[in-house]
Structure 1
Amino acid sequence: MSSIHTNTAAMTALKSLQATNKALESTQKNISTGFRVSDASDNAAYWSIATTMRSDNKALSTVEDALGLGAAKVDVAYTAMDSAIDVVDEIKAKLVASREPGVDKTKIQSEIGALQEQLKSIADSASFSGENWLSSSEASGATKEIVASFTRSSSGTVSVGTVSVDVFSSKLFDSATTDRSTLASSNQGLLDSVLADYDADGDTTADATYTVSVYNLDISSATDVQIDGMIWNVENVLEDMTTSAADLGATKSRIDMQSEFVGNLMDSISSGIGKLVDADMTEESTRLQALQTQQQLGIQALSMANSGSQSLLSLFR
């Protein structure tokens, strides 16, 4: 039946064209954004997962920056400690040389004094981002925390992990120690701590007692026993410094490995997010061309359906 009120063919063509236009709009959106899930309305579950993981990736990026900053602090402390070990080695060599009969201890002390000032200079210079672990006021047991990880449990609970650095064991000077005429009254470092008394013959009675540190020891008028005690003390300090340097090196290695892991983890998370929400541009391009063809055919079909009504006029001529 031909009717001027109801054009079934036009209605069918219009519905088909509207569906094609809607699909074309969706495909163009995917191409322009690069995502097949760019809004929660596209796929609520995938959008929620992707949004959460992107947030976690930003946190991991901050962790990576924190690890870089921590690595720099540890590296500065290690470099300074390594240089200080060389200087203390020189002081030990000068002390051994002063045991030679007939040497001028005053001249040797002049050399030792220069080395002692060099030690203070090294410690005071070992600063990065406002922190100095070799010359500080840290008390025994003090540690520094370096942010090292960000984790999310299966229940959604997040937590931040840290790497602890024992800064007191690597402390060379208390920040209150300003020159060789003073000793820190508390929280002494390895180089401004008072030397231990020395028992030369093993009878539990001290043969040499000290009120000086490695930083301000003076051999100008010291006896051979006192110098022996100084050598023994300096050797002990060297062992402690070497242990501290080894600990700093191990910490630096751990931070480097963690930083590499965090970088790889961020890449994996980004890849996983992409698989959930990224558009396949090859597929979208193919679909776009097909829909454009369907749109053109739909327009022609609608035009033909509309022209059918016009043919009725010929019956009334």
Structure 2
Amino acid sequence: MSSILTNNGAMVALQTLKSVNSTMSEVQNQISTGKSVANAKDNSAIWAISAVMTSDVKSFKGISDSLNLAQSTVAVARQASETVTDLLTEIKGKIVASQEENVDREKIQTDIDALRDQIGAVVGAAQFNGLNLLQNNTLTAEDVNVLASLDRSSTGVAASKITVARQDLSSGAATAGTMGTDIGSNSAVNAGATGAIMTVTGTPEAGMSYELASGGGLGLSADVTYVARNGDTLQDVTDALVAGLNFQAMTDGIDVTFAENGSTAGQIDMTNNTSAAITVTTTNASQSTNNTENDGTIGGSLELLENFDVTTGNGADAALEAIENMLQVSIKSAANFGSAQGRIETQADFISGLTDALKSGIGSLVDADMEEASARLQAIQVQQQLGVQALSIANQAPQQLLSLFKG
């Protein structure tokens, strides 16, 4: 049956042409944007995944900048630590030369003072963007946490960090704060014997003061003071006090030796090499228990440099004993910074590779296959032309009905 009111052929041709035009628009969008999934309407699931991954890529770019900044900062600290080690080695050479009797110790002392001042200049200049990792002599000094990664899991996103511990190669002197709980008592050590003179207890915190007063039965000419810095352990405090006591005793020409007790943490023993018993007064050797009121001024790990005096025999011997400990401190600092720098560089390389992998993954999800799009465009253009032809033919069908009414 033919009808002039309903043209079924034209409707079919029109729907086909609309479908072809819709596909043509989709392919043209893919070609113009380069994406098969340009927005959530195209494929909501794939778009959501790619959006999350894209946000991670931008985050990792920021992390990469953070790692580059940290790498430069640590590199400066490592270089400075190595330079300090070289300068301490030169000082050691000067001290060794001062052991000779027939030398001008005054001139050697002048050279040592110059090298000491140079160490101070190196440590003071070892900063990058205002951060100096070689100074740990303030109560507010803390280890540096470097943003290293974002760890995504089913429970959310967590920041991963690399901790770079501060070292301390400054040479400023410490000042003890108000004394708190006593950690020692009067101890008598007989001639030729070894005995405990004090025991350091508790958990050190930045600013806690430790001091063994001068005078007393031992006869030290100066107080032996140590103020804990951030990150110090009981072992660090004990080692520092032992080093200070040995240096002061040798400087004063007192024939005693101090050492850490191998079995009791925090205990300091004294070996009395003199011919008479010595009673050591340690009532002022105290640990501050109030980190607000009893804080001392934190000294540097190389603070004994300020007291080096090789113009006397005792002073030269004391300096030779102390310089070895300082060399170990600077070498350890350089090694720690070297390890941290290596880890940061490895992480930076990983983040760079991870970012590239994420970009590739996003591309495989949303990027259009341009070869396929080109082939589809050619085919759809032909379909579109045929659709127009079919619609034109279908629209001519009512015209044919006129022939039925001609006489």
TM-score range (shorter-chain normalised) is 0.7 to 0.9
What is residue 133 of structure 1 aligned with on the other side? 133
What is residue 172 of structure 1 aligned with on the other side? 169
What is residue 92 of structure 2 aligned with on the other side? 92
Mark the CA change 1:238 to 1:140 in structure 2 (over 3 Å): closer, same or farther.
farther
What is residue 180 of structure 1 aligned with on the other side? none
Within 5 Å, give how 1:230-309 maps onto structure 2: 230-309=319-398
2:245 corresponds, among 186, 192, 197, to 197
2:303 partner amino acid: S
CA RMSD of aligned residues (A): 2.6
| Count of residues in Structure 1 that have an aligned counterpart in Structure 2 | 301
Tell me the secondary structure at the aligned position of residue 36 of structure 1: coil
- 8 A Cα contact 2:64 2:351, kept in partner: yes
- 8 A Cα contact 2:87 2:115, kept in partner: yes
Within 5 Å, give how 1:91-130 maps onto structure 2: 91-130=91-130
- More helix, by proportion: 1
What is residue 57 of structure 1 aligned with on the other side? 57
- 8 A Cα contact 2:50 2:362, kept in partner: yes
2:72 partner amino acid: A
Equivalent-residue separation in structure 2 for 1:42 and 1:106 (angstroms) = 85
Structure 1 portions without partners, runs of 5+: 178-182
1:276 partner amino acid: L
Equivalent-residue separation in structure 2 for 1:206 and 1:67 (angstroms) = 54
Higher deviation after alignment, 146-155 or 128-137: 128-137
- 8 A Cα contact 2:40 2:47, kept in partner: yes
Residue identity (%): 39
Equivalent-residue separation in structure 1 for 2:138 and 2:368 (angstroms) = 55
- 8 A Cα contact 1:105 1:219, kept in partner: no
2:60 partner amino acid: L
What is residue 306 of structure 2 aligned with on the other side? 216
Pair 1:311-2:405 in alignment: no
Equivalent-residue separation in structure 1 for 2:139 and 2:94 (angstroms) = 31
| 1:26 to partner: Cα distance | 0.8
| 1:112 to partner: Cα distance | 1.1
Equivalent-residue separation in structure 1 for 2:229 and 2:150 (angstroms) = 36
1:228 partner amino acid: D
Equivalent-residue separation in structure 1 for 2:341 and 2:273 (angstroms) = 41
Equivalent-residue separation in structure 2 for 1:27 and 1:206 (angstroms) = 95
2:49 partner amino acid: I
Tell me the secondary structure at the aligned position of residue 306 of structure 2: coil
Deviations 1:79-121 (A, max 9, x none): 0111111011111110111111121111111111111111111
Q: TM-score, normalised by structure 1?
A: 0.87
Q: TM-score, normalised by structure 2?
A: 0.69
2:245 partner amino acid: D
Tell me the secondary structure at the aligned position of residue 271 of structure 2: coil
